[in-house]
Amino acid sequence: MTDKEIEMQLALGTLDPQKLSFDEFNYYISIIARIAIAATK
């Protein structure tokens, strides 16, 4: 899955993190971290 596909599925709420590879999961976590940081500002 590409980074763009991960972003789209996350936005749509259809992403299942348990089905991601190691690299895909790391990218997913980086997106979640950016969202969390932005929400606290």
Say how many C-beta atoms besides its own lie within 10 A of residue 26's C-beta: 10
- pLDDT at residue 41 in the model: 85
What's the pLDDT tens digit per position in 1-41?
999 999 999 999 999 999 999 999 999 999 999 999 999 98
| Structure tokens given for 18 | 């348990």
- Are 40 and 33 in contact by the 8 Å Cβ rule? The answer is no
Q: What is the pLDDT of residue 40?
A: 93
pLDDT of residue 37: 96
Asked if 6 and 31 touch (Cβ cutoff 8 Å), the reply is yes
Q: Model-level pTM?
A: 0.83
Question: pLDDT value at position 33?
Answer: 97
